[in-house]
């Protein structure tokens, strides 16, 4: 039979028809860079679409949503204050090393989030007013920091996990706490809680899960083409990790904005726990009654008079 | 019109602002020297730098208003002959532009041509003369190098004779360089002078010349545009002659031509065929006879053509009967129906052309292969007209010219034989006494039962082919039919890895007393061996660094202009040959006809004056009309030539009526204005317009039949039948001698010694006046006569070719029926192919080495690859030596694509470590390796052996480490295209 | 205004790589960066075809849309260029490009990959036309000299066509009609949402 190589030439049309959606048209190249063998990768175009569409939109929605939501919350509920007075007694809540872990994690998270978000929509908001040159410099360093600070974040994340996981096992108690909305929405309501209440547990686990995913996908993005934990290292996989990274980052940022709010301006006295390490006994009794009981039972020495304040008569 | 700025203009960086200031006036793109182009600028002073300080010249402050000169040269890689347009600034080659006007390439190139500018960046070129001393490379001055080499050559000559120095020239030299090198060998006194054609198309030249007269491509790449059927057999033009595909594919498209590829591999050329037929390597004769079986069976032959222009076809017809479809299928594996289709297409859908290349030539039956191809063409009447022909795609950029000028163990320039007549002719042209030349040759004592030879006999005896130089070094001296073994290799431009049996050649290198490599690169000759001393490297500049002409595959002669001065301390072939001759004591005689000018380091002859000497002597091939002036006019007026006919209109200034490049034969003197010959043997036009006929070289009759054409003659011929070659005597008998001018007659008289009898024998090829040619042509006749082509070459082994199995055949059953030729002695050497084949069968080698190994080209690299593997733009594209292996064979051996494998050869436990490329391009049981790699030997990296900084970027195992014994009895061609091997995962 | 495009006629392309080395030669492109490459499909099988690919200078270029620093711009000729001063080497364009056009001097591990480089359609970059700075960063600017891309100009078989999209489509159509077959204008659907129908 006749072999007519001309008659049977492959056409682009045919290939597109036989290939599944998004599959690359690829062949052989003589250069060592095997990626170059991919001739047409329609999937790349869709990734670009998703990145500019879904990811960018959701990220913007998440950030704006969190900010607007909290603003409303603040306007309605105002700052959550201690019902009673400051007791003047301090109770040690987080040791120095725990606080170090928190700030390592949180500080790096903020840097990562800002530099990451810049990649997503910096060109829409910042570029126009910074100008091309400055924005490029900013983004360049942002990108560099994102790459390096990620390591700090992962360390902080690991430490926080080790220190706090024991206190974050969900319990029956948490259900009750949640039913009462943590007392956040009503003055004077303080459902009992141990060291971490259900809300904090949610933050904790979101942070751990989200952070882990971000770290993993982040690492995969950082070393394209390298398999980590046996995960694929093809270009399509890269696209997937990138999307996951972006979306999880958006979600986690949303949650963390809320956390930051509560941990700072949202709740009176809360900041001290991470700022100084000890909190006012009364604040503790209101928000973590069971934990205070525990501490008082075992480790009375952890409750100390506040420095520079007179013991109450 | 081309506005590219966006409105929000990009931020201008500091650098841009700076550049803008410097470039105050609007400048052209090339108006600054490119950073990497500076390597070669102003290196005149380099000689004063110390050995360690050779470096890129620093650019001075850049002058942005430098003018740009455009220089035209020819690509130094393959025989297509693409014009290269170089933009030069301040002596630096800064840019390469498309040479639109060239009718050959019309601006285009392949990967190699598009990157030739790198050659004169020359990062990895040899930078100055060197020698090995106690195993270390040391730098020399030119004077010292020439002195030492000369002394050693003279000592060897004294002790072992002139034949002990092997002079290996190059198909990369210009015509003038090649000619000079051949002349050098003659003055030195040896016929051991050769070049790449030996391992390339020597069998083509022998086969074709023995069939119809001249050993060259009959038509041109451009003319293939006219073909309706094109067969490629053993040619992978898409990789080896890429720009030819421009013409072929256009022809294919516009004519809806049939393109048939017959090849063991599904090549890139096959990918563009309309019909691909896979064959077993080494079975070409059986296939062609198989095709002709169908032609004769169906009466598809062109009987009129055969009757008029071919002798002996009936005998061939008898032989072909033996190759019926069953037998052919048994030998080749190709079904009868397929060959019938090819036969019918080729015979009936004309004009048809047959293209062959290394797949046909590199065999023990190479010459016979070629003659079967010719027979197919003759039987179908497809030679000597538009769109037909034996389109032999030749190899290197000037392999045609180097062949023409006799860089060959068996001929003198322009195919004058080694017999007395030829020598005397050149002695006259060179203006030296014949006796002087004779005195330069050795006397050979009786040896090995052979008679002694006197100087004259030795002078007329062909030398040793380049495929066997190492055997001639290491074999017992009794076996080598000359005074002594080869003791010195003087290699001007030839790789060391390109001849099969590299392991044996390594032994040869180690045995030499002297090894000289005169080349832009060190080559494997410098890097492979373990010689501690007496190895010299001379940095030769490339053809971009000197003037000269080169002859493309289609016989067009193109003039290359020096683009830049020789870089570093390199110097051109002309100067170096001159200096060596000076040292050896015959420069005065050899160089007296030339205009000598001051070159870079010494005096040198001008290329123009050498070409003029060629014009004075090259009558036999029609190399007489191509004066430097005419050639330069052609380069300047390239756009005047038609793309298909290659002819300029009659009214074009300077080149009116000429064919591009005055393809030889370009008869008569330059003043005679012959246009050159686009299509050989073409009787459809007048001889003065480039017409012709087959050359009657083999007598006038045979077995009672005439060998002269019958009823076929060029348009306008006054003799309307065949006739023998023209001599003064024939002119006299025709009464045409009266047309000779007095001056012409005087020359003929001088050559004939004023003796009427000898005068009558002065032929068209010996008449230095060109008068005989002129008169013959003015009467419409071909100077060399009008004869028949020979279907049967009675003077060669197998006058009618028969299939013969390769030495290492995968089919012992067929070896029994079709054994290789008997052992014999050829070219001063024994050829024991028959014993090798029998022993291989006895030892059942086809079982332990079950895979047929063939070899060939990659588009990115050329030849031994030293130049191209040193060019980063090319080297990047092929970074590993590999073997193509069929998926079935790979799976059976646990070999994966890209994995390392050992390829074991059938001789001397040879082996090569390469990467596997698993592909259906090759059939199961067949493997293919490119031959451009070197620098590894049997798994060992030898990078350290190169002089520092001259090692090519990419190194790899050479296929010729595993290729094996086998020599064509007619030319000494190696069997590079078939052997056996075994492959295993490494 | 011309809309510059590339069309590689796969039935002509013989994988000779002239386009690749011409590009290297013209722009002194360093080792490891391949502004153009040749991909062979069905390698070694009947139907084998090679396609020479570089940046296709897409309509609505995906690379430009994802670039975090927005350093791409499209010239009036439809050529997609970028500013190396602005580029931060993030690699997004490479992941967005359907043709694998963006190239980086370093392989993208840790930290930066260096400034992205890609085919400029031989038309330089945002620097002053034909300035040294432009050459050093982006290579030659043939368009400004009134010449077309060298890769196409030097293509051995005239497989690679460059120039106004309409004109090269016309040339291609004529060829397909003459020879009776064609394997399509590779990449056009993806790059320009367009095919050359014959
Ligand atoms: N890129 C590049 N181009 C070159 C060169 C180069 O080195 N590199 N060299 C130049 C030179 S010197 C030459 S001579 C030419 C050579 O040009 P080609 O001869 O076209 O090149 P090859 O690849 O050696 O061999 C051609 C084909 O012969 C086939 N073949 C193998 N065995 C057989 C057989 O037994 N019978 C038949 N019929 N075919 C067989 C091979 O499969 C291969 O496809 O190329 C010239 N051009
Ligand atoms: N197994 C196997 N072996 C083969 C072949 C095969 O197909 N298979 N092919 C065979 C064929 S066809 C050929 S032609 C040979 C080719 O084999 P070689 O001729 O050995 O290969 P090249 O590397 O082209 O050698 C040319 C040399 O000339 C030098 N040179 C360049 N320009 C000049 C100049 O102007 N002057 C001087 N003096 N030197 C210059 C170059 O640097 C280079 O070293 O290989 C043959 N060997
Ligand atoms: C920069 C602003 C931040 C402030 C002011 C802040 C404040 C606090 C405070 C006060 C606590 C202790 C609450 C308690 O006493 O129980 C806390 C706990 C914690 N923070 Fe933050 N934080 C900040 C950012 C972050 C970030 C960015 C992360 C995550 C990556 C994070 C993760 C956590 C976790 C997991 C805990 C322990 C569980 C919890 O208390 O919810 N914090 N933070
Ligand atoms: C935990 C907090 C993190 C957040 C909030 C975050 C957020 C982001 C965001 C929003 C992007 C841009 C995504 C897009 O453009 O669609 C991004 C990109 C990226 N992130 Fe993160 N990220 C975090 C952690 C990490 C970590 C731990 C690593 C690595 C170890 C990492 C590595 C990367 C990389 C490499 C990219 C860019 C993709 C690339 O250039 O290849 N990120 N990140
Ligand atoms: S190597 Fe041959 S085909 Fe390629 S550019 Fe040079 S002459 Fe032309
Ligand atoms: S081919 Fe790739 S780099 Fe070029 S314009 Fe299209 S998306 Fe951008
Ligand atoms: S690599 Fe450069 S051009 Fe590409 S997306 Fe990133 S910043 Fe933009
Ligand atoms: S258009 Fe210019 S830059 Fe682009 S691939 Fe071709 S030669 Fe290279
Ligand atoms: S130069 Fe032309 S034929 Fe050669 S690879 Fe490039 S596109 Fe194909
Ligand atoms: Mo050759």
DSSP state letter for B483: S
- C114 exposed, middle or buried (CB, 10 Å; 0-12, 13-18, 19+)? middle
- C120 exposed, middle or buried (CB, 10 Å; 0-12, 13-18, 19+)? buried
- Domain encompassing residue C169: 4-192
Percentage of chain A modeled with pLDDT above 70: 95
The rounded distance, in Å, linking the Cα atoms of B688 and B779 is: 9
The rounded distance, in Å, linking the Cα atoms of B295 and B293 is: 5
- Which domains does chain B possess? 130-200+399-605 (3.40.50.740), 218-392 (3.40.228.10), 617-790 (no CATH), 812-985 (2.40.40.20)
Q: Are A116 and A56 in contact (CB under 8 A)?
A: no
Q: Is the C-beta atom of A214 inside 6 A of ligand 3? A: no
> ∠ CA(B54), CA(B56), CA(B62), 5° rounding?
145
The rounded distance, in Å, linking the Cα atoms of C80 and C56 is: 8
The rounded distance, in Å, linking the Cα atoms of C163 and C185 is: 14
Residue C73: strand, helix, or coil? strand
Q: Are C67 and C112 in contact (CB under 8 A)?
A: no
Residue-wise pLDDT tens digits, A250-280: 999 999 999 999 888 888 878 888 888 888 8
* CATH code of C157's domain: 3.30.70.20
Task: Report the Cα A162 to chain-centroid distance in Å.
Answer: 18
> ∠ CA(B894), CA(B898), CA(B899), 5° rounding?
45
For chain B, residues with pLDDT lower than 70 are: 1-65
Q: Which residues pair with C72 in a beta bridge?
A: C82
Name the residue with tokens 């009981």: A293
Q: Is residue C36 in a domain?
A: yes
- Per DSSP bridges, beta strands B911-918 and B900-904 are antiparallel
Closest residue by Cα to residue B791 from B367, B375, B215, B305 = B375
Residue B779: strand, helix, or coil? coil
Q: Is the C-beta atom of B320 inside 6 A of ligand 5? A: no
Shortest distance, CA C82 to any CA of chain B (angstroms): 9
**Which residues of A are less than 8 Å from C6 in CB distance?**
none
Q: Is residue C61 in a domain?
A: yes
Closest residue by Cα to residue B265 from B852, B981, B923 = B923
Ligand 3 center–CA A304 separation, angstroms: 23
The pLDDT value given to residue B55: 35
Shortest distance, CA A99 to any CA of chain C (angstroms): 29
Residue-wise pLDDT tens digits, B638-693: 999 999 999 999 999 999 999 999 999 999 999 999 999 999 999 999 999 999 99
B878 in reach of chain A (CB within 8 A): yes
The rounded distance, in Å, linking the Cα atoms of A7 and B197 is: 37
Name the residue with tokens 């329609």: A42
Query: In sequence order, which ranges of B626-741 are alpha helices (DSSP H)?
Result: 628-636, 728-734
Percentage of chain A modeled with pLDDT above 90: 39
* Residue B292: C-alpha distances to residues B100, B281, B762, B802 (Å): 42, 19, 41, 13
Widest pairwise Cα distance in chain B:
92
Q: Is residue C115 in a domain?
A: yes
The pLDDT value given to residue C109: 57
B-contacting chains (≥3 CB pairs under 8 Å): A, C
Q: What is the rounded (10 degree) CA torsion for C5, C9, C12, C14?
A: 80
In this structure, what are the phi and psi dihedrals at residue C181, rounded to the nearest 5 degrees?
Answer: -155, 160
Across the interface, whether the CB atoms of C157 and B242 are under 8 A apart is answered yes
> Quick one: angle between helices B420-430 and B607-617, nearest 10?
140
Q: Are B514 and B488 in contact (CB under 8 A)?
A: yes
The rounded distance, in Å, linking the Cα atoms of C169 and C181 is: 15
Per residue, what are the HEC states of B439-455? HCCCCECCECCECCECH
Q: Quick one: which ligand is closest to A47's CA?
A: 4
Q: Are C143 and C2 in contact (CB under 8 A)?
A: no
The pLDDT value given to residue B4: 36
Name the residue with tokens 């595993």: B962
Q: Are B787 and B694 in contact (CB under 8 A)?
A: yes
- Tokens linked to A201: 């547990």
Output helix, strand, coil percentages for chain B, rounded to the nearest 5. Answer: 35, 15, 45
Closest residue by Cα to residue B696 from B627, B812, B781 = B781
Q: Are A270 and A262 in contact (CB under 8 A)?
A: yes
pLDDT confidence tier of residue A234, bands split at 50, 70 and 90: confident
Q: Which residues of A160-180 are buried (b: 16+ CB within 10 A; e: fewer)?
A: bbebbeeebeeeeebeebeeb
The pLDDT value given to residue A304: 64
Residue-wise pLDDT tens digits, A14-34: 888 888 777 888 999 999 888
Q: Is the C-beta atom of A67 inside 6 A of ligand 3? A: no
- Could you identify the atom of ligand 9 that is nearest to the CA of residue C12? 3
Q: How many domains does chain C have?
A: 1
The rounded distance, in Å, linking the Cα atoms of C77 and C163 is: 10
End-to-end CA distance of chain A: 110
Q: In the β-sheet with B83-89, what is the strand arrangement from edge to edge?
A: B69-74, B83-89, B92-97
Q: Are B625 and B186 in contact (CB under 8 A)?
A: no
For chain C, residues with pLDDT lower than 50 are: none
Task: Report the Cα A201 to chain-centroid distance in Å.
Answer: 14
The rounded distance, in Å, linking the Cα atoms of B446 and B462 is: 17
- Peptide bond connecting B324 to the previous residue in cis, omega within 30 degrees of 0: no
Average pLDDT (A35-57) is 91
* Residue B573: C-alpha distances to residues B400, B405, B540, B662, B851 (Å): 18, 15, 6, 25, 43
Q: Is residue C198 in a domain?
A: no
Name the residue with tokens 């006012």: A280
Q: Is residue C149 in a domain?
A: yes
Helix or strand run (H / E) with residue A308: none
Residue nearest to atom 8 of ligand 5 (CA): B82
In this structure, what are the phi and psi dihedrals at residue B701, rounded to the nearest 5 degrees?
Answer: -150, 165
Residue-wise pLDDT tens digits, A274-312: 888 888 888 888 888 888 888 777 765 566 655 544 444
Neighbours of ion ligand 10 (CB under 5 A): B 200, 395
**Best residue in C131, C136, C140 for a mutation probing chain B (most B CBs within 10 Å):** C131
Q: What is the pTM of this model?
A: 0.92
The rounded distance, in Å, linking the Cα atoms of B959 and B934 is: 8
C-contacting chains (≥3 CB pairs under 8 Å): A, B
Across the interface, whether the CB atoms of C25 and B115 are under 8 A apart is answered yes
Using CA of residue B797, residue B802, residue B803, residue B805, what is the dihedral sign?
Answer: negative
- Tokens linked to A159: 């430490």
CA atoms within 13 A on the CB side of A296: 13
A126 in reach of chain C (CB within 8 A): no
């Amino acid at each position: 039979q006749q072999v007519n190589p001309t008659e049977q030439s492959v056409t682009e049309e045919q290939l597109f028809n036989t290939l599944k959606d998004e599959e690359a048209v690829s062949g052989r190249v003589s250069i060592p860079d095997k990626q170059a063998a991919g001739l047409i990768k329609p999937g790349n175009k869709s990734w670009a679409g998703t990145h500019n569409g879904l990811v960018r939109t959701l990220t913007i929605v998440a950030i704006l949503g969190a900010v607007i939501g909290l603003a409303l919350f603040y306007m309605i509920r105002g700052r959550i204050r201690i019902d009673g007075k400051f007791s003047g007694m301090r109770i040690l809540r987080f040791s120095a090393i725990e606080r170090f872990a928190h700030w390592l994690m949180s500080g790096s998270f903020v840097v990562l989030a800002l530099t990451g978000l810049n990649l997503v929509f910096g060109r829409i908001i910042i570029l126009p007013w910074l100008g091309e040159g400055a924005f490029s410099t900013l983004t360049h360093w942002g990108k560099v920091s994102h790459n390096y600070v990620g390591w700090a974040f992962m360390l902080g994340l690991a430490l926080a996990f080790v220190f706090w996981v024991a206190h974050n096992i969900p319990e029956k108690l948490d259900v009750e706490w949640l039913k009462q909305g943590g007392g956040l929405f009503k003055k004077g309501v303080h459902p009992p809680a141990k060291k971490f209440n259900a809300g904090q547990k949610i933050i904790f686990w979101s942070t751990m899960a989200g952070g882990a995913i971000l770290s993993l996908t982040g690492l995969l993005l950082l070393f394209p083409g390298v398999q980590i934990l046996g995960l694929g290292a093809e270009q399509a996989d890269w696209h997937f990790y990138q999307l996951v990274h972006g979306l999880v980052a958006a979600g986690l940022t949303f949650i963390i904005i809320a956390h930051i709010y509560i941990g700072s301006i949202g709740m009176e006295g809360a900041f001290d726990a991470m700022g100084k390490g000890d909190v006012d006994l009364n604040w503790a009794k209101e928000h973590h009654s069971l934990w205070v009981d525990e501490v008082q039972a075992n480790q009375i020495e952890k409750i100390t008079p506040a420095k520079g304040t007179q013991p109450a008569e | 019109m081309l506005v590219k700025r966006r409105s929000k203009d990009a931020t201008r960086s500091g650098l841009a602002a700076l550049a803008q200031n410097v470039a105050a006036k609007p400048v052209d793109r090339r108006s600054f020297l490119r950073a990497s182009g500076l390597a070669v600028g102003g290196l005149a002073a380099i000689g004063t730098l110390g050995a360690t300080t050779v470096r890129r010249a620093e650019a001075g402050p850049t002058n942005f208003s430098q003018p740009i000169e455009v220089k035209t040269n020819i690509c130094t890689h393959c025989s297509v002959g693409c014009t290269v347009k170089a933009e030069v600034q301040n002596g630096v080659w800064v840019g390469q532009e498309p040479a639109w006007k060239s009718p050959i390439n019309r601006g285009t190139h392949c990967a190699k041509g598009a990157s030739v500018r790198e050659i004169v960046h020359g990062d990895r070129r040899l930078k100055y003369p060197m020698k090995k001393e106690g195993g270390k490379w040391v730098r020399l001055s030119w004077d010292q190098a020439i002195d030492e080499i000369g002394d050693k050559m003279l000592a060897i000559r004294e002790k072992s004779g002139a034949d002990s120095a092997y002079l290996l020239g190059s198909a990369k030299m210009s015509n003038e360089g090649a000619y000079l090198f051949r002349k050098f060998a003659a003055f030195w006194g040896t016929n051991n002078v050769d070049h790449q054609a030996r391992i390339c198309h020597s069998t083509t030249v022998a086969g074709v010349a023995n069939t119809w007269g001249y050993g060259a491509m009959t038509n041109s790449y451009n003319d293939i545009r006219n073909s309706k059927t094109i067969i490629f057999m053993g040619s992978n033009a898409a990789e080896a002659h890429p720009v030819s595909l421009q013409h072929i594919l256009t022809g294919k498209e516009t004519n809806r031509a049939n393109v048939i590829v017959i090849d063991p591999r599904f090549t890139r050329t096959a990918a563009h065929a309309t019909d691909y037929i896979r064959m077993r390597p080494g079975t070409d004769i059986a296939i062609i006879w198989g095709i002709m079986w169908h032609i004769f069976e169906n009466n598809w032959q062109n009987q009129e053509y055969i009757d008029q222009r071919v002798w002996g076809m009936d005998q061939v017809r008898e032989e072909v009967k033996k190759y019926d479809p069953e037998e052919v299928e048994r030998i080749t594996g190709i079904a009868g129906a397929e060959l019938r289709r090819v036969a019918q297409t080729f015979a009936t859908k004309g004009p048809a052309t047959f293209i062959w290349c290394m797949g046909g030539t590199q065999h023990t039956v190479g010459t016979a292969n070629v003659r079967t191809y010719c027979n197919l063409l003759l039987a179908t009447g497809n030679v000597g007209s538009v769109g037909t022909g034996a389109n032999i795609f030749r190899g290197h950029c000037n392999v045609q010219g180097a062949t023409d000028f006799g860089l060959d163990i068996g001929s003198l320039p322009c195919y004058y034989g080694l017999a007395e007549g030829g020598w005397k002719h050149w002695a006259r042209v060179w203006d030296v006494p014949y006796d002087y030349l004779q005195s330069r040759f050795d006397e050979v004592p009786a040896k090995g039962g052979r008679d002694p030879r006197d100087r004259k006999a030795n002078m007329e005896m062909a030398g040793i082919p380049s495929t066997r130089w190492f055997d001639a070094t290491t074999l017992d001296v009794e076996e080598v039919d000359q005074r002594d073994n080869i003791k010195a290799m003087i290699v001007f431009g030839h790789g060391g890895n390109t001849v099969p049996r590299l392991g044996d050649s390594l032994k040869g290198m180690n045995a030499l007393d002297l090894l000289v490599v005169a080349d832009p690169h060190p080559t494997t000759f410098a890097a492979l061996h373990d010689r501690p001393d007496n190895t010299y490297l001379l940095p030769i500049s490339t053809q971009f660094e000197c003037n000269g002409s080169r002859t493309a595959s289609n016989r067009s002669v193109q003039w290359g202009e020096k683009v830049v001065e020789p870089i570093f301390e390199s110097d051109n072939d002309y100067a170096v040959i001159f200096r060596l001759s000076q040292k050896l004591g015959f420069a005065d005689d050899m160089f007296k006809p030339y205009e000598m000018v001051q070159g870079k380091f010494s005096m040198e002859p001008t290329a123009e004056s050498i070409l003029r000497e060629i014009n004075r002597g090259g009558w036999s091939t029609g190399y007489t009309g191509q004066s430097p002036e005419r050639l330069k006019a052609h380069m300047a007026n390239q756009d005047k030539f038609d793309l298909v006919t290659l002819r300029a209109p009659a009214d074009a200034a300077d080149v009116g009526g000429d064919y591009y490049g005055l393809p030889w034969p370009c008869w008569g003197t330059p003043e005679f204005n012959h246009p050159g010959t686009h299509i050989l043997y073409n009787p459809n036009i007048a001889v003065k317009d480039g017409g012709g006929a087959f050359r009657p070289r083999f007598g006038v009759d045979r077995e009672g039949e005439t060998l002269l054409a019958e009823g076929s003659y060029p348009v306008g011929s006054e003799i309307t039948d065949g006739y023998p070659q023209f001599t003064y005597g024939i002119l006299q008998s025709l009464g045409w001698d009266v047309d000779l001018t007095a001056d012409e007659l005087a020359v003929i008289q001088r050559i004939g010694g004023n003796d009427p009898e000898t005068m009558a024998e002065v032929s068209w090829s010996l008449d230095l006046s060109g008068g005989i040619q002129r008169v013959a042509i003015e009467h419409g006749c071909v100077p060399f006569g009008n004869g028949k082509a020979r279907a049967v070459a009675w003077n060669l082994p197998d006058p009618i070719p028969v299939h013969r199995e390769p030495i290492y055949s995968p089919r012992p059953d067929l070896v029994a029926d079709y054994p290789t030729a008997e052992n014999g002695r050829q070219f001063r050497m024994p050829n024991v192919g028959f014993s090798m084949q029998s022993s291989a069968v006895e030892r059942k080698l086809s079982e332990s080495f079950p895979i047929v190994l063939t070899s060939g080209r990659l588009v990115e690299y050329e030849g031994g690859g030293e130049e191209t593997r040193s060019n980063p733009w090319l080297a990047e594209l092929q970074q590993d030596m590999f073997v193509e292996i069929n998926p079935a064979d790979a799976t059976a051996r646990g070999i994966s694509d890209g994995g390392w494998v050992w390829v074991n050869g059938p001789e001397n436990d040879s082996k090569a470590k390469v990467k596997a490329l698993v592909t259906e391009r090759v059939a199961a049981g067949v493997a293919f390796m490119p031959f451009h790699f070197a620098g590894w030997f049997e798994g060992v990296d030898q990078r350290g052996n190169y002089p520092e900084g001259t090692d090519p970027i990419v190194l790899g195992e050479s296929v010729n480490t595993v290729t094996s014994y086998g020599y064509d009895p007619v030319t000494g061609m190696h069997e590079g295209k078939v052997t056996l091997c075994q492959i295993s995962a490494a | 205004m011309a809309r510059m495009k590339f069309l590689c006629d796969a039935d002509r392309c013989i994988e000779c790589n002239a386009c690749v080395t011409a590009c290297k030669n013209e722009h002194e492109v360093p080792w490891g960066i391949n502004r153009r490459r040749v991909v062979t499909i069905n390698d070694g099988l009947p139907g084998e075809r090679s396609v020479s690919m570089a940046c296709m200078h897409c309509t609505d270029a995906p690379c430009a849309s994802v670039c975090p620093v927005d350093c791409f711009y499209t010239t009036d000729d439809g050529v997609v260029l970028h500013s190396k001063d602005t580029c931060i080497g993030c690699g997004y364009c490479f992941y967005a490009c359907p043709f694998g056009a963006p190239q980086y001097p370093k392989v993208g591990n840790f930290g930066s990959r260096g400034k992205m480089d890609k085919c400029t359609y031989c038309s330089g970059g945002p620097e002053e036309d034909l300035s040294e700075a432009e050459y050093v960063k982006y290579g030659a600017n043939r368009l400004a000299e009134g010449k077309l891309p060298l890769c196409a100009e030097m293509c051995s078989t005239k497989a690679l066509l460059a120039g106004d999209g309409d004109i090269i489509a016309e040339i291609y159509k004529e060829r397909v009609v003459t020879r009776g077959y064609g394997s399509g204008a590779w990449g056009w659907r993806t790059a320009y949402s367009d095919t050359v129908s014959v």
